[in-house]
Amino acid sequence: MRLRSLAPLVLLAVFARDAGAQDKKHAARTEFEGKNGPFVEAIEKGESAFLARDFAGAVAAFQDAVKKQNDAMICFYRLGEAQRAMGKLDEAEATWQTALGKKGADDLKAKILFVLADLKERQGKWQAAKDAWGAYLNFLQSNSKARGYPNSATDRQKQCDRRMKDEKDYGAVKERIAKREAEKIKEAEENAKKDKLNK
Protein backbone atom coordinates (compact mmCIF):
# COMPACT_ATOMS: atom_id res chain seq x y z
CA MET A 1 0.00 0.00 0.00
CA ARG A 2 1.36 3.45 -0.90
CA LEU A 3 0.73 6.28 1.52
CA ARG A 4 -0.60 9.20 -0.47
CA SER A 5 0.27 12.11 1.78
CA LEU A 6 2.72 13.16 4.43
CA ALA A 7 0.09 13.48 7.17
CA PRO A 8 -0.35 9.71 7.64
CA LEU A 9 3.41 9.24 7.69
CA VAL A 10 3.70 11.80 10.44
CA LEU A 11 0.90 10.11 12.38
CA LEU A 12 2.31 6.64 11.85
CA ALA A 13 5.81 7.73 12.87
CA VAL A 14 4.39 8.05 16.38
CA PHE A 15 4.14 4.27 16.45
CA ALA A 16 7.58 3.56 15.01
CA ARG A 17 9.91 1.37 17.05
CA ASP A 18 13.15 2.75 18.46
CA ALA A 19 14.92 2.16 15.18
CA GLY A 20 17.33 4.77 13.85
CA ALA A 21 15.90 8.08 12.71
CA GLN A 22 16.20 6.98 9.06
CA ASP A 23 14.28 3.74 9.73
CA LYS A 24 11.32 5.27 11.57
CA LYS A 25 9.12 5.86 8.52
CA HIS A 26 9.94 2.42 7.17
CA ALA A 27 9.22 0.78 10.54
CA ALA A 28 5.86 2.54 10.80
CA ARG A 29 4.89 1.63 7.24
CA THR A 30 5.93 -2.01 7.74
CA GLU A 31 4.16 -2.28 11.08
CA PHE A 32 0.81 -1.08 9.74
CA GLU A 33 0.78 -2.40 6.21
CA GLY A 34 0.37 -6.02 7.26
CA LYS A 35 -2.35 -6.96 9.66
CA ASN A 36 -3.25 -3.36 10.36
CA GLY A 37 -3.59 -2.19 6.74
CA PRO A 38 -7.32 -1.35 6.99
CA PHE A 39 -6.56 0.68 10.12
CA VAL A 40 -4.04 2.79 8.20
CA GLU A 41 -6.54 3.27 5.37
CA ALA A 42 -9.19 4.47 7.83
CA ILE A 43 -6.73 6.93 9.39
CA GLU A 44 -5.73 8.19 5.93
CA LYS A 45 -9.37 8.60 4.95
CA GLY A 46 -10.05 10.54 8.15
CA GLU A 47 -7.03 12.77 7.60
CA SER A 48 -8.09 13.53 4.03
CA ALA A 49 -11.62 14.37 5.15
CA PHE A 50 -10.32 16.53 7.99
CA LEU A 51 -8.02 18.48 5.67
CA ALA A 52 -10.96 18.99 3.29
CA ARG A 53 -12.93 20.33 6.28
CA ASP A 54 -15.41 17.46 5.97
CA PHE A 55 -15.51 16.97 9.72
CA ALA A 56 -18.49 14.61 9.68
CA GLY A 57 -16.60 12.42 7.19
CA ALA A 58 -13.50 12.62 9.35
CA VAL A 59 -15.47 11.56 12.44
CA ALA A 60 -16.90 8.58 10.54
CA ALA A 61 -13.48 7.53 9.25
CA PHE A 62 -11.79 7.85 12.64
CA GLN A 63 -14.65 5.90 14.24
CA ASP A 64 -13.97 3.21 11.64
CA ALA A 65 -10.28 3.28 12.63
CA VAL A 66 -11.30 2.85 16.28
CA LYS A 67 -13.34 -0.23 15.33
CA LYS A 68 -10.35 -1.68 13.49
CA GLN A 69 -7.78 -0.89 16.21
CA ASN A 70 -9.54 0.09 19.44
CA ASP A 71 -6.38 0.07 21.54
CA ALA A 72 -4.54 2.72 19.47
CA MET A 73 -4.37 6.13 21.12
CA ILE A 74 -3.97 7.89 17.76
CA CYS A 75 -7.47 6.88 16.62
CA PHE A 76 -9.10 8.46 19.65
CA TYR A 77 -6.89 11.54 19.50
CA ARG A 78 -7.82 12.26 15.88
CA LEU A 79 -11.48 11.41 16.49
CA GLY A 80 -11.51 13.96 19.30
CA GLU A 81 -9.93 16.56 17.02
CA ALA A 82 -12.66 16.02 14.43
CA GLN A 83 -15.38 16.18 17.09
CA ARG A 84 -13.94 19.43 18.43
CA ALA A 85 -13.87 20.87 14.90
CA MET A 86 -17.60 20.06 14.64
CA GLY A 87 -18.25 21.92 17.90
CA LYS A 88 -19.01 18.74 19.85
CA LEU A 89 -16.82 19.68 22.80
CA ASP A 90 -18.26 17.24 25.34
CA GLU A 91 -17.83 14.35 22.91
CA ALA A 92 -14.26 15.44 22.12
CA GLU A 93 -13.43 15.61 25.82
CA ALA A 94 -14.85 12.12 26.47
CA THR A 95 -12.95 10.73 23.47
CA TRP A 96 -9.66 12.26 24.63
CA GLN A 97 -10.19 10.95 28.15
CA THR A 98 -10.64 7.49 26.63
CA ALA A 99 -7.48 8.01 24.55
CA LEU A 100 -5.39 8.41 27.69
CA GLY A 101 -6.03 4.76 28.55
CA LYS A 102 -4.93 3.45 25.15
CA LYS A 103 -1.54 2.47 23.69
CA GLY A 104 0.50 5.30 22.29
CA ALA A 105 3.76 7.18 22.46
CA ASP A 106 4.50 9.59 25.29
CA ASP A 107 4.56 12.48 22.80
CA LEU A 108 1.00 11.68 21.78
CA LYS A 109 -0.16 11.37 25.37
CA ALA A 110 1.37 14.78 26.07
CA LYS A 111 -0.59 16.21 23.10
CA ILE A 112 -3.81 14.77 24.46
CA LEU A 113 -3.19 16.22 27.91
CA PHE A 114 -2.46 19.56 26.22
CA VAL A 115 -5.69 19.60 24.18
CA LEU A 116 -7.74 18.57 27.23
CA ALA A 117 -6.32 21.49 29.24
CA ASP A 118 -6.89 23.87 26.33
CA LEU A 119 -10.48 22.66 25.96
CA LYS A 120 -11.24 23.28 29.64
CA GLU A 121 -9.83 26.77 29.33
CA ARG A 122 -11.86 27.53 26.21
CA GLN A 123 -14.98 26.42 28.09
CA GLY A 124 -14.20 28.89 30.88
CA LYS A 125 -13.78 26.11 33.45
CA TRP A 126 -10.84 27.87 35.07
CA GLN A 127 -10.10 25.60 38.02
CA ALA A 128 -10.49 22.46 35.91
CA ALA A 129 -8.24 24.05 33.27
CA LYS A 130 -5.61 24.92 35.86
CA ASP A 131 -5.69 21.33 37.16
CA ALA A 132 -5.46 19.96 33.60
CA TRP A 133 -2.46 22.19 32.82
CA GLY A 134 -0.90 20.87 36.04
CA ALA A 135 -1.47 17.27 34.88
CA TYR A 136 0.16 18.11 31.55
CA LEU A 137 3.15 19.72 33.26
CA ASN A 138 3.54 16.80 35.69
CA PHE A 139 3.46 14.34 32.79
CA LEU A 140 6.20 16.24 30.96
CA GLN A 141 8.34 16.41 34.09
CA SER A 142 7.96 12.70 34.85
CA ASN A 143 8.49 11.60 31.22
CA SER A 144 11.66 13.32 30.08
CA LYS A 145 11.46 11.84 26.56
CA ALA A 146 8.01 13.32 25.92
CA ARG A 147 8.12 16.51 23.92
CA GLY A 148 5.92 19.33 25.07
CA TYR A 149 5.70 22.91 26.24
CA PRO A 150 6.20 23.13 30.01
CA ASN A 151 6.47 26.93 29.94
CA SER A 152 3.10 27.15 28.23
CA ALA A 153 1.53 25.08 31.00
CA THR A 154 2.98 27.37 33.68
CA ASP A 155 1.82 30.47 31.81
CA ARG A 156 -1.68 29.06 31.25
CA GLN A 157 -2.01 28.22 34.96
CA LYS A 158 -1.20 31.87 35.77
CA GLN A 159 -3.82 33.00 33.26
CA CYS A 160 -6.39 30.69 34.86
CA ASP A 161 -5.58 32.16 38.29
CA ARG A 162 -6.00 35.67 36.87
CA ARG A 163 -9.36 34.78 35.28
CA MET A 164 -10.64 33.20 38.53
CA LYS A 165 -9.59 36.33 40.46
CA ASP A 166 -11.26 38.58 37.86
CA GLU A 167 -14.49 36.59 38.06
CA LYS A 168 -14.45 36.72 41.86
CA ASP A 169 -13.81 40.47 41.84
CA TYR A 170 -16.44 41.02 39.17
CA GLY A 171 -18.90 38.97 41.21
CA ALA A 172 -18.93 41.68 43.89
CA VAL A 173 -19.43 44.37 41.24
CA LYS A 174 -22.30 42.38 39.70
CA GLU A 175 -23.97 42.14 43.11
CA ARG A 176 -23.74 45.91 43.60
CA ILE A 177 -25.18 46.54 40.13
CA ALA A 178 -28.04 44.11 40.75
CA LYS A 179 -28.75 45.76 44.10
CA ARG A 180 -28.85 49.22 42.50
CA GLU A 181 -31.16 47.97 39.73
CA ALA A 182 -33.50 46.44 42.32
CA GLU A 183 -33.50 49.71 44.27
CA LYS A 184 -34.33 51.70 41.09
CA ILE A 185 -37.19 49.35 40.24
CA LYS A 186 -38.56 49.59 43.78
CA GLU A 187 -38.28 53.38 43.73
CA ALA A 188 -40.05 53.54 40.35
CA GLU A 189 -42.89 51.34 41.65
CA GLU A 190 -43.28 53.54 44.74
CA ASN A 191 -43.32 56.67 42.58
CA ALA A 192 -45.97 55.11 40.36
CA LYS A 193 -48.13 54.38 43.42
CA LYS A 194 -47.73 57.98 44.65
CA ASP A 195 -48.70 59.30 41.22
CA LYS A 196 -51.89 57.21 41.28
CA LEU A 197 -52.81 58.49 44.70
CA ASN A 198 -52.20 62.11 43.62
CA LYS A 199 -54.67 61.80 40.71
Res 130: pLDDT: 92
- What confidence tens digit (pLDDT) does each residue in 157-176 have? 998 889 888 888 777 777 77
Question: Considering just the CA atoms, what is the radius of gyration of the chain in Å?
Answer: 25
Instruction: Please state, in angstroms and rounded to a whole number, the distance separating the CA atoms of residues 31 and 87.
Output: 34
User: What 8-state DSSP symbol labels residue 22?
Assistant: G
Res 185: pLDDT: 85
Average pLDDT, the chain: 80
User: What 8-state DSSP symbol labels residue 101?
Assistant: T
- What confidence tens digit (pLDDT) does each residue in 62-73 have? 999 999 888 889
Instruction: Please state, in angstroms and rounded to a whole number, the distance separating the CA atoms of residues 49 and 31.
Output: 24
pTM above 0.85, yes or no: no
Instruction: Please state, in angstroms and rounded to a whole number, the distance separating the CA atoms of residues 130 and 136.
Output: 10
Task: Say if CB 157 and CB 133 are below 8 A apart.
Answer: yes
Res 178: pLDDT: 77
Q: Give the range with max mean pLDDT: 10-19, 22-31, 94-103.
A: 94-103
- Bigger pLDDT: 183 vs 78: 78
pLDDT at 39 over 70: yes
Res 20: pLDDT: 37
Lowest mean pLDDT among 52-56, 146-150, 182-186: 182-186
Task: Say if CB 79 and CB 62 are below 8 A apart.
Answer: yes
Band of pLDDT at residue 85, cut at 50, 70 and 90:
very high
Band of pLDDT at residue 199, cut at 50, 70 and 90:
low
Res 45: pLDDT: 92
User: What 8-state DSSP symbol labels residue 133?
Assistant: H
Q: Which helix (H) or strand (E) holds 9?
A: helix 6-13
